[in-house]
Amino acid sequence: MIRNAISSLLSRAAACLASLACAFLSPSAMGFDERANVYVAGADVRIETPVNGDLYAAAGRVSVLEAVLGDAVVAGGSVDIAGAIRDDLRAAGGVVTLGGNIAGEALVAGGSIAFGRDAEVHGRAWLAGGDIAVAGKLFGGLKVYGKNIVLLGEIRGPVEIHAEQIEITASATTLAPSSSARSPAACCCSRPPACTRSWRSRSRNAGVR
């Protein structure tokens, strides 16, 4: 079930990347864009000045260091989102790290995904990958499929987790109307009591099955 769910989410990410490819071939990519969208590709891409429209980037390494006022669609072997995204984020990569503020939704797929302590997502977050660590603050809820998942931050809104291994640290909190975590392996916490009781203590109507 987890593999099917991950495949589904990766398919959505692939569709976003397909739109990225189309964007590079669109007339706006040739310089006829009134909204100041940015289209860039290369071995190492660094966004070091603010983007006044949408950002479409594909490279071996992509670093977004400044604000993007529209959507950001990013793909690379390594993806680092340090700047603010004022709309939605779509990112796929071997290693994806997020440390900025996302005003909209976040769809992220990667071999390794890490949300830093300063990261914020104000819309819903969908994550799929191998090793996933979620710190920071997620205000719109979380749906995640992965192999090893670690929760370290604050999550508000509905939470749904599917993983082989789930770790809920002492710093993790949820303020959610409903939360569920499914794992064939034992769920563990950084300190007693047991994971189920710890998870329940952090959210209303929570359950670990």
pLDDT of residue 110: 97
The answer to which of 33-42, 59-68, 129-138 has the lowest mean pLDDT is: 33-42
Phi, then psi, of 9 in degrees rounded to 5: -70, -35
- Side by side, which strands form the sheet with 101-102? 101-102, 120-121, 137-138, 154-156, 173-175
CA–centroid distance for 91 within its chain? 7
pLDDT-above-70 percentage for the chain = 67
Q: How confident is the model at residue 21 (pLDDT cuts 50, 70, 90)?
A: very low
Alpha carbons within 13 A on the beta-carbon side of 128: 18
Whole-angstrom Cα distance, residue 33 to residue 53? 9
C-beta atoms surrounding 188 within 10 Å: 15
- For residue 9, CA distances in Å to 136, 138, 145, 178, 193 come to 22, 19, 8, 21, 33
Average pLDDT over residues 110-133: 97
Pick 37 or 35 by higher pLDDT: 37
Q: Is the pTM of this model over 0.95?
A: no
- For residue 79, CA distances in Å to 25, 154, 199 come to 22, 23, 31
The mean pLDDT of the chain is 80
pLDDT of residue 179: 64
Burial 91-115 (b: 16+ CB within 10 A, else e): bbbebbbbbbbbbbbbbbbbebbbb
Query: In this structure, what token pair is assigned to residue 3?
Result: 């593999």
With left for phi above 0 and alpha for psi between -120 and 50, is residue 43 left, alpha or beta? alpha
167-208 pLDDT tens trace:
989 888 877 666 666 666 545 544 433 343 334 334 333 333
Specify the DSSP class assigned to residue 103.
S
